[in-house]
Structure 1
Amino acid sequence: MNTTLPTSTNANAPGPHDGRAEAWVARLDSPECTPHERAEFERWLDASPAHVAAYVAAERAHQAAAQLAGDEMLQAAARIAWRQTGRERARSRWWAPAAMAASLLVATVVGVGWLRSPAPVESLRYATQVGEQRSLRLADGTQVMLDTDTAILARFSGERREIEVDRGRVQFQVAADPARPFSVIAGTGTIRDIGTTFQVLKNGSEVNVGLIEGEVQVSNGLAQAGSTLRPGQQLSYDHSGRMTPPEPLDLSVAESWPSGDLVFKNRRLDALLTEMNRYSATKLRLADPNLGKITVSGVFHIGDQAALLEALEQGWSLKAERAADDEIVLHRNPG
């Protein structure tokens, strides 16, 4: 689908009702939308509060149209109107009342659809590809950092703010709004807070929550009770209802990935490779699983496999060999 998109973030550019918001809704919904276009969208959104309002209105209209698309009454009314306007007898005396009746029927169905709907809920999906990180600001002012291969769904209304983490790792710097509680759903658990900074990692059915500042309450729908985290604490839970007690969180490690670095302190090599592999389509493998017991410390830039491999070859006597286009295998260097 070819869609003309705005390229200027100048606040003095044409107003938000010139079709740009509708164009962004269509483009962002397309699987062909590129990271560059999403970054351009964020710049356009930040250029003016009017852009945010226009985009929200366009997104709601898009969702309403999608919800009504399967309504049989609406489809029948549209077919009646189309048949009448397509005939040469459209100018006859009987056409005007019939067309008006069809129009009223369409309007009535749309009106009934809105009456049937609950209070408007703004639902927006955000995602990153492998190797991509994305920073964004939600409509309430909450700052969000999406790590590689991450997807979330934001649902906002006048009464609540809710984020669902589908996969990946996210950092939330929540804008305070006591009238609208902020909650994050990840797997079978829910994280609730007001005005904090915390991270959520969802890997399959395993979820980890780490608190940087403020306070959050973590509950698992399958567990007997929840836990409250203090700054510098973390916990984990899974689909079985098991929840670990709060334990220390290394803030230097937690705060490194949003800035593009990975900090490892005496971590096993297999854990390091698992983390680095999240950022690249080319995977690093161990020829011998026993090599995974090697402990490694260092700071590595996200996605910079070349620097990591050089460090492992020089400091830990390993040798890297490319086994396929998408795989590099690490061996012990006999020399």
Structure 2
Amino acid sequence: MSNIHQFTPKDLILETAANWISAIDRGLNKVEKEQFKLWMLQSNAHQDAVYELAKLWDELSVLNELSTLFPHKNNTEEKSKWVFSYGIAASLFAALMICSYLLVNLETGYNQALAKVNYTKIYKTKVGEQATYVLPDGTIVQLNTNSLLEVAYSKGRRQLLLSRGEGRFNVAKDATRPFSVMAGDKSFTALGTVFNVQRNTSSHLELVVTEGKVMITDPSVAVDANDFKAYQLADNSTQKIRKINANIVLSGEKAIIEKSVTAPIKRLSADDVQRDLAWQNGMLIFNGEQLSDALNEVSRYTATRFELSSAELANIKVAGVFKAGDVAGLLESLKTNFSIDHERLGEHVVSLKRQTKS
């Protein structure tokens, strides 16, 4: 039908808007300006998302560029339409009080102090659920199943607490405010832009860095803006890094913390990275893991629990690609490839055993 319109999820609009804001901050070329104009003209929601994020960005140049590209955006009629049509901004950007304050001050120009406003919020996902959020500074957070994240921004610090679960953090640049994620008994401070933290227990953590650098420290180590700038140029041989017993993890590397001790940092292949971060696409990839470990990973995404009939069964090496939470597909694969039968002992318990020979 010709009157059907494409629907774009609001989270995707916000993510795209954040990417455009970052691009404007570094400077758009002629082609990018035309692409940006076309995207903005596609929907009022696109425009609303960009202006909301722009006013929470740290650079005056962003609003100046927007003012040049769209000189009539600031009129009163548009502001009135914006505040009523874009209700999602209330929950994503420090509630209606901040949004109202931004609107009142729009005509007088961008106030950089707004980007430093205190911001606290709790984000969480249920078992089997994944969600993406855009924080006020443009940082994009993707939470995995059964995760709980507390965010606390202040004038000089961006502090997050991952109480459980796993998250991917695409960090917006801000040299004046370090970005740190505390998980268990470690703190991960962003010296680059993109990293993944998985919290299994308070003393068993995993970090994968896909862009830039991340510094691992004890939570008691305070990193201010001056330290942050120095650490960005540091590596693991730097005296300052060794003095605070920290580790610098680079893009393409993985750190595993067990019993509060950081094991030697591993360099990952492209396949390793894809396997570790497959959850971000809703998939699970196994490549030689023991069946018991694979089932523990599957259980993170569902209420189903598995009981194995023997240690021999638990130690079977498995490989394959599965949709997260697809228990039926997993059980069928185990039966077909390993002759493993299953029996449901209750609504959420599955017993696994070898097929008996007839």
Aligned residue for 1:290, secondary structure, equals helix
Kindly state the Cα deviation for residue 212 of structure 1 after the two structures are TM-superposed.
Answer: 1.3
Inter-partner Cα distance in structure 1 for 2:136 and 2:186: 24
Query: After the TM superposition, which segments of 4 or more aligned residues of structure 1 sit over 2 Å from their partners?
Result: 8-12, 47-55, 57-61, 220-224
CA contact (8 A) 1:197 1:212 kept: yes
CA offset digits 1:57-99 (Å, max 9, x no partner): 44789xxxxxxxxxxxxxxxxxxxxxxxxxxxxxxxxxxxxxx
Amino acid at match of 2:256: S
The CA deviation at 1:221 is 4.8
Rate the CA distance shift 1:272–1:121 in 2: closer, same or farther, 3 A: same
SS of equivalent to 1:324 = coil
What are the equivalent positions in structure 2 for 1:107-126 lying under 5 Å apart?
121-126=118-123
Q: CA RMSD in A?
A: 3.1
Rounded Cα–Cα distance in structure 2 between residues aligned with 1:242 and 1:136: 31
| Equivalent residue letter for 1:256 | A
Query: 1:139 aligns to what?
Result: 136
Alpha-carbon separation, structure 2, partners of 1:182 and 1:222: 15
Where does residue 153 of structure 1 map in the other structure?
A: 150
Which residues in structure 2 correspond to 1:162-311 (within 5 Å)? 162-205=159-202, 206-221=204-219, 225-238=245-258, 241-249=260-268, 250-311=272-333
Structure 2 Cα separation of the partners of residues 149 and 263 of structure 1: 19
Corresponding residue SS for 1:178: coil
| CA distance 1:52–1:215, change in 2 (3 Å) | farther
Aligned length: 240
* Aligned equivalents of 1:158, 1:50: Cα separation in 2: 24
- Paired with 1:59 and 1:312, the residues of 2 have a C-alpha distance of 54
Instruction: Provide the residue aligned with 1:326 in structure 2.
Output: 348
Name the CA distance, whole Å, in 1 between partners of 2:308 and 2:352: 5
- Structure 2 stretches of 5 or more lacking a match? 1-8, 11-42, 49-81, 100-115, 222-243
Residues 85-124 of structure 1: pairs in structure 2 closer than 5 A: 121-124=118-121
Partner of 1:112: none
Aligned partner of 1:172: which letter?
Answer: F
Aligned partners of 1:59, 1:131: CA distance in 2, in Å? 33
Distance 1:308 1:50, change over 3 A: closer
- The one-letter code sitting in structure 1 at the alignment partner of 2:280 is P
The secondary structure found in structure 2 opposite 1:312 is helix
Higher relative contact order (CA 8 A, sep 6+): 2
Q: Which moved more, 1:189-198 or 1:150-159?
A: 189-198
**Whole-Å separation in 2 of the counterparts to 1:321 and 1:312:** 13
Give the distance between the partners of 1:226 and 1:306, measured in 2 at CA: 44
Q: Separation in 1 of the partners of 2:201 and 2:287?
A: 25
Residues 192, 214 of structure 2: 8 Å contact kept: no
TM-score after normalising by structure 2: 0.61
Residues 264-307 of structure 1: per-residue CA shift (max 9 Å, x gap): 11111001000000111121221223211100111000000111
Secondary structure of the corresponding residue to residue 156 of structure 2: coil
Instruction: Please tell me the residue identity of whatever aligns with 1:236.
Output: I
Residue equivalent to 1:28: none
Q: What SS does structure 2 have at the residue aligned with 1:296?
A: strand
Is 1:56 aligned to 2:78, yes or no? Answer: no
Contact in 2 for aligned 1:127/1:150 (Cα 8 Å): yes
What is the deviation of 1:255? 2.8
CA contact (8 A) 2:90 2:96 kept: no
Question: Which of the pair has more CA radius of gyration?
Answer: 1
Query: TM-score, structure 1 length as denominator?
Result: 0.65
CA distance in 1, matches of 2:341, 2:189: 46
Which stretches in structure 1 are left out of the alignment for 5+ residues?
1-7, 16-43, 62-118
Task: Name the aligned partner's letter for residue 295 of structure 1.
Answer: K
1:186 shift after superposition:
0.9
Task: Answer whether contact 1:196 1:214 (CA < 8 A) is retained.
Answer: yes
SS at match of 1:177: coil
- Alpha-carbon distance change, 133 to 220 in structure 1, aligned in 2, over 3 angstroms: same
Identity %: 31
**Cα separation, 1, equivalents of 2:167 and 2:292:** 23
